[in-house]
Structure 1
Amino acid sequence: MELRVLRYFLTVAMEENITHAAEILHVTQPTLSRQLAQLEEELGVTLFRRGNHRITLTEEGQLLRRRAREILELTDKAEEELTHMDQVVTGTIAIGCGEARSIRCLADTMAAFRKKYPRVSFEIYSAIADDVSARMDRGLLDFGLLMEPVDISKYNFVHMPHKERYRLLVRKDDPMADKEAVTPEDLEGMDIIMPRRLSVRNVFENWFGPIYGTLKLPATINLSLYNTIAMVRAGVGKGITPLDADFPPDLQAIPLEPVLAVGSVIAWKKNQQQPRPVSLFAEFLQERAKEYTSGISK
């Protein structure tokens, strides 16, 4: 498979129309159709379902779309790194992170690093820790801001200074809105919108104790405070969030009692030769860590 053809494939998959894709790619429609047909023949599968007005991906096409994106991301990253190896410090550092209070500390570190190396830029990928770790392992991300519990045995890492303290998010007209804190017993039998990560769900199962079995789980969330807010507003259930945010005035965030707080780390792969911007940022993180925490591990 040629990289050029993979780019053709992704453009057609996005546009769902051969004519529109050909215009974007600046090739003729017959040329594009022929390239796609040759790709299907090479792979021995059908990638598209062709309708009168639009084309959609088959199951095989959806798999290729995921892999093609990863292949092209890695290729573009490699080209950029090789291009800038012998020049001044420049390039892109890819960081995956979830919604956490510690992003503020990371953002401050990024800003300070760019003052020293202004030609370095950052690419931020938002996802839960499991997804971020998987992309780090495949070389698609250089660093990950991971909320615990998470397996960090295969990474270098720096503990972030802030704990993520979970809260219950309810509407202001909810009977619980005036409570200073909520206990597991307060939530017995309630509709609770839970985080999707299994390791985080286990933490909540321990916190709730026997009450956990009485909960109704109308929805789970992998990431997005916005989506949690929308569902709480609509009455789908009460939300649980680790964020200390400025919530809309029609919602109330209530601390949990006993307190449920977890740490987070910024991690990167062990024993791997890194591009210069990445290795410099790792060193910068460790130096900054000395200012706000003693929990550094290599």
Structure 2
Amino acid sequence: MANVVAASGRMRHGDAGDGGTERGMELRVLRYFLAAAEEGSVTGGAELLRISQPTMSRQLQQLERELGVTLFERGQRSITLTPEGMLLRDRARALVELADKTISDVSNRSAGELDGEIAICCGELRGVDWIAERMAVFRARHPRVRFALFSATADVMQERLEQGLSDVAVMGGAIDAERFGFLNLPQADRWGVMMRDDDPLSGLDGITPDDLGGREVLMQYRPQVRGMLDNWFGGVRDEITVSGTYNLPLNAAIAVRHGLGVALCIDVGQVGEGLRFVPLTPHLDVPSVVVWKRNRTLNPSAAAFVEFLRSGGSI
């Protein structure tokens, strides 16, 4: 796949048949752009990709001319992305990742031994233990298969499944059964409070809404989750102060350790030295599911892995 694919294999501007000009962004140039953006300098990007600095500079200048925008603000020793550059960076990452995955999936389709990569995105959930056990068994049976793990929130995971960037996801909560196939996992995720060991609530066996009245609390940023937690609080909701929001529990743990408040989160197992997790009471449990996109042709290894999971994933 030499070029970034649009409708016909190249990104087009105008129409060659009516006097317009055709412009194409090659994957190679997008890789140059991403390397420079991530390194913060053209020289650093060139060194990362082991090409000459003049070659990279020339290609990036040509890219800017083709797009008709400035992608970088150039300083003496570093570069900074413009708003247009930040937009291209985000799109280019997805394009390059999808192109690489497509090449891998197509090149590894064969009737022989399973080969290639299975892309799995996961939340920080107990269900990751379940699928990791089965990943190990599956790879022992098919040693040419490898797994690519990506940690993300539920919204990002669904986007990656829709875009074809991930084959399977492990997430919690309700699933749109018309868009996604899914498998309910045997272990639900339990919500509770993460706090420091020296917190007055750390000696309790369960945390009630009244226990959190007047406290500063870190909340999950997703509106759907916030609504669920607001229902659990009931009339006490107005008595707490939201000191911040988070997307993944390990980020919340750092904030709790530094005294930003207690965090409402799921039980992720070991929370780290100096912290304790206490479940909510009444209990608030959310089922975990393994999810894949319906009506999408998976590569043979990913398809076999999904069937392995659906059959029970015997270990």
- Within 5 Å, give how 1:61-100 maps onto structure 2: 61-86=85-110, 87-100=112-125
Does 2:168 align with 1:147?
no
Asked if 1 retains the 8 angstrom alpha-carbon contact of 2:194 and 2:263, the reply is: yes
Asked if 1 retains the 8 angstrom alpha-carbon contact of 2:37 and 2:81, the reply is: yes
1:273 alignment partner in structure 2: 297
- Within 5 Å, give how 1:1-298 maps onto structure 2: 1-86=25-110, 87-225=112-250, 227-288=251-312
User: TM-score normalized by structure 1?
Assistant: 0.93
Secondary structure in structure 2 of the residue aligned to 1:219:
strand
RMSD over aligned Cα, in angstroms?
1.6
One-letter identity of the residue aligned with 1:49: E
One-letter identity of the residue aligned with 1:181: G
Using the alignment, how far apart are the partners of 2:138 and 2:41 within structure 1? 43
Structure 2 unmatched runs, 5+ = 1-24
Using the alignment, how far apart are the partners of 1:85 and 1:230 within structure 2? 43
Deviation at 1:33, TM superposition (A): 1.3
Asked if 2 retains the 8 angstrom alpha-carbon contact of 1:94 and 1:140, the reply is: yes
Q: CA separation of 1:233/1:20 partners in 2, compared to 1, >3 Å: closer, same or farther?
A: closer
Deviation at 1:116, TM superposition (A): 1.6
Asked if 1 retains the 8 angstrom alpha-carbon contact of 2:267 and 2:277, the reply is: no
Deviation at 1:150, TM superposition (A): 4.2
Deviation at 1:205, TM superposition (A): 0.9
Using the alignment, how far apart are the partners of 1:146 and 1:261 within structure 2? 13
1:296 alignment partner in structure 2: none
One-letter identity of the residue aligned with 2:48: I
Asked if 1 retains the 8 angstrom alpha-carbon contact of 2:123 and 2:171, the reply is: yes
Deviation at 1:274, TM superposition (A): 1.7
Using the alignment, how far apart are the partners of 1:255 and 1:175 within structure 2? 15
One-letter identity of the residue aligned with 2:142: Y
Deviations 1:175-233 (A, max 9, x none): 111122111111112111111121111110111112122221111110142x2222112
Using the alignment, how far apart are the partners of 2:178 and 2:227 within structure 1? 20
Identical aligned residues as a percent: 42
Aligned residues between the structures: 290
Secondary structure in structure 1 of the residue aligned to 2:241:
coil
Structure 1 unmatched runs, 5+ = 293-298
Using the alignment, how far apart are the partners of 2:26 and 2:101 within structure 1? 17
Using the alignment, how far apart are the partners of 1:195 and 1:64 within structure 2? 29
Deviation at 1:21, TM superposition (A): 2.2
Secondary structure in structure 1 of the residue aligned to 2:208:
coil
User: TM-score normalized by structure 2?
Assistant: 0.88
Tell me: higher relative CO, structure 1 or 2? Use CA pairs within 8 A at least 6 residues apart: 1
Using the alignment, how far apart are the partners of 1:119 and 1:288 within structure 2? 22
